[in-house]
Chains A and B, each alone.
Chain A
Amino acid sequence: MKQLTKKWGKSLGIYLALMIIFPFVMPDEYYRSVGIIIGLQAIVAIGLCLVMGLAGQISLGQASFWGIGAYTSAVLTTKFGLTPLVGLVASAIVPAVFAFILGRAIAGLQGYYLAMATLAFGYIVQIGIQEWEPVTGGASGMISIPQVPFFGGSELSMYYLIWGIVTCVLLFSLNLMHSRIGRAFRAIHKSEVAATSMGIDVRKFKLNAFVVSGMFAGISGGLYAHYMGILDPQPFGMHESIKFLTMVVIGGMTSIWGALIGTLVIGFISEGLVMLSEVVPGLQGDVDTIVFGGILVLIVMFMPEGLVPRIRSLYEKAQAKKAAANAEQRVERKAAI
């Protein structure tokens, strides 16, 4: 256990160091904004990881909670003149309520039913945003959403605000994973029968995971709205939901760190594709969709556990080999004496 916390401390140290120095290594405003967006996506991905990797559920509509969060805060601040802080609190609560209602309804569903129900929910939300024009501005969207008054709202201060929140979400999830609640989630994933026999209310725990993930996505959505200043329904559809799914799957569903690493990987790929499209003029359509789809297929086929767990098990194997070699040497030395 002590070893575990120590290892954990090391990853955390590396993470904090990289996160803090990034804006100075990349002083360009553009890269800071890319960093901000990646941070926002990481919050959603970590929440999705709690649902998928830990509780073993699937959600193909995570972007809709993101959207609900974004529109909640945007509407409250622009139409009702509330401060962004109140808006942000609401953007955590409202999606969580939606997740609770949806989750309660579908907590008994599994597998394909769940996949389709969340996919359908995602569509309903996007259609709802488009059709509820008087409030959401419909397809043309909303403008002049106020900024979060955090150290003047410069790009740099927003970067630290958002990555500070990412860090909180990350720590919360890591703590959770190594607590009775997290163990209950993981137990459900492995065997619902055994979990039940140990007194774990499977439905309730699945619902809890769903609500927390909805809340994380909502917080991220609210921040997104205030950071961007404008909103339209386009980024809250299936394309984005699949993107979140890909982040979690590539990093390793069962690992919170995996969700973070997955978000970074997809972030790099997306940036790479943007550059590529500037170089190759004829590149039309959603090239990133091809990449996401390809990654999903290849990961399931060749590395179903995902990047972080794979690297960890390789590392552990190497350590074990080293330990075995050391022990052998010791025996030989003893024999020599």
Chain B
Amino acid sequence: MNETGKNRRKKFFGYLKAHWQLYVMILFPLIVIFIFAYGPMYGILLAFKNYKVSLGIWKSPWAENFGMNNFIRFFNNYNFMECLRNTLVISLYSMFAGVPCSIILALSLNYAKNYLFRKTVQMVTYCPYFISTIVFVGIINMMFDIRTGVLGSFFSDHFGVNILGSAELFPSLYVWTGIWQGMGFGAIIYIAALAGVDMEQHEAAIIDGATLLQRIRYVDIPAIVPTVVIMMILNMGGILNVGYEKVLAMQNQMNLSSSEVIATYSYKVSLVSSFPDYPYSTAIGLFQSIIGLILILITNKIADKISGISFI
């Protein structure tokens, strides 16, 4: 408590002398992360500028309206509401359909008593997770092709819909194929949580005459709530950056009105466009990052208040 600053510094240098190797070790990943994660943060300045390639980021003049012009342009653009709506629909739909599916699978596997059967189902349901986005979207396109695909021809013959070409059905197609791919993998974490449930609680419940469904409701579900909360917090931050690799790969001219999300829009106005607008795209990206950060902090706070679980 009474240590002077000098003393403390001396102690620190003593530590440094004995353990300099630890600092050398951590230096390498630090350098990489400073260049490739913090380096781009300098480029954020671009969002507030009128970029002139010849002048570079620093010397380019500030944008109009106190540097906020790029943001104003985005908010006033007719694409903005559509992109924002599509982004929210896709990510919330994914989350609220995907998490329960994984939980149901985990509960179901937990009560499948035959070991070999359970392992087989587990293995098969994890499997699609390893299929790459490109191959996966390729498979979707093939299966839902209205002429040659087995599901596509079925739906087009019986219901007269072209699933691949329908903007209305795009969110559902995206979410349910995503569940097909990720449900098994998402269940792992809940299976682990269920394995941690105290067997004594189950035994006590059985003695009290609880049915299986009651035990699930009153013993298992409360036990996995903390895990669910943490997963929700982690998901919340990414709510505006939906896995756009898959969205981008699934886009076509016909579903564009519901498949254009903020990330794909910002990619198109910059790197694909014949008149690349870097500051505009940067502003969109920054908007996305900031909302993400705010959402993480808010959900974290709420979760902390309600259940005492926080991540940060």
Please determine whether chains A and B interact with each other in the same assembly. Answer: no
Instruction: Give the A-binding residues of B (Cβ under 8 A).
Output: none
Instruction: Give the B-binding residues of A (Cβ under 8 A).
Output: none
